[in-house]
């Protein structure tokens, strides 16, 4: 099985712009979670989607949003980018509700100038 894929791998944006990141889970996985990783704050949970519904949400402002499609692919959008949004964004997929192991993608490195 192919692993979790994320596109793009690298992205440079300027303040005020918006950005969309994509995550394709392992085939058959229905849960996709997103995490932000920064040197200062570490790894923080953004949100999780399961069967196209947001199931869990972290403590991020409304500028961060996501969605999941019927094929389980997920997108994350950040509007009105700020310098502090520069981070590695990781997504992870999980099989079904009762499972616990998350498989991570390689991440998208976002730089906001």
Cβ proximity to another protein: between 43 and 113 the closer is: 43
| Alpha-carbon distances of 15 from 38, 39, 41, 97, rounded to whole Å | 17, 20, 20, 37
**Interaction of residue 88 with another protein, rule CB under 8 A:** yes
**Interaction of residue 31 with another protein, rule CB under 8 A:** yes
Q: Which of 24, 78, 107, 110 binds another protein (CB under 8 A)?
A: 107
Contact between 46 and 61 (Cβ < 8 Å): no
**Interaction of residue 110 with another protein, rule CB under 8 A:** no
Contact between 85 and 60 (Cβ < 8 Å): no
Closest distance of CB 66 from another protein, Å: 13
**Interaction of residue 86 with another protein, rule CB under 8 A:** no
**Interaction of residue 21 with another protein, rule CB under 8 A:** no
Please tell me whether residue 11 adopts helix, strand or coil conformation: strand
For every residue of 28-93, DSSP letters joined together read T--EEEEEEEETTTEEEEEEEEETTEEEEE-S--TTEEEEE-TTS-EEEEE-S--GGG-EEEEEEE
**Interaction of residue 42 with another protein, rule CB under 8 A:** yes
**Interaction of residue 27 with another protein, rule CB under 8 A:** no
List contacts with another protein (CB under 8 A): 31-33, 35, 42-45, 48, 50, 55-56, 58, 88, 90, 92, 94, 97-98, 100-104, 106-107
């Amino acid at each position: 099985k192919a692993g979790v894929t994320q596109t793009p791998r690298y992205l440079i944006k300027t303040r005020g712009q918006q950005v969309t990141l994509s995550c394709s889970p392992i085939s058959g996985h229905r849960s996709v979670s997103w995490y932000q990783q920064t040197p200062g704050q570490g790894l923080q949970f953004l949100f999780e989607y399961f069967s196209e519904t947001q199931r869990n949400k972290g403590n991020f402002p409304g500028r961060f949003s996501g969605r999941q499609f019927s094929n389980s692919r997920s997108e994350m959008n950040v509007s009105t980018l700020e310098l502090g949004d520069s981070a590695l964004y990781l997504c992870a997929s999980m099989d079904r509700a009762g499972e616990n192991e998350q498989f991570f993608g390689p991440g998208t490195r976002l730089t906001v100038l």
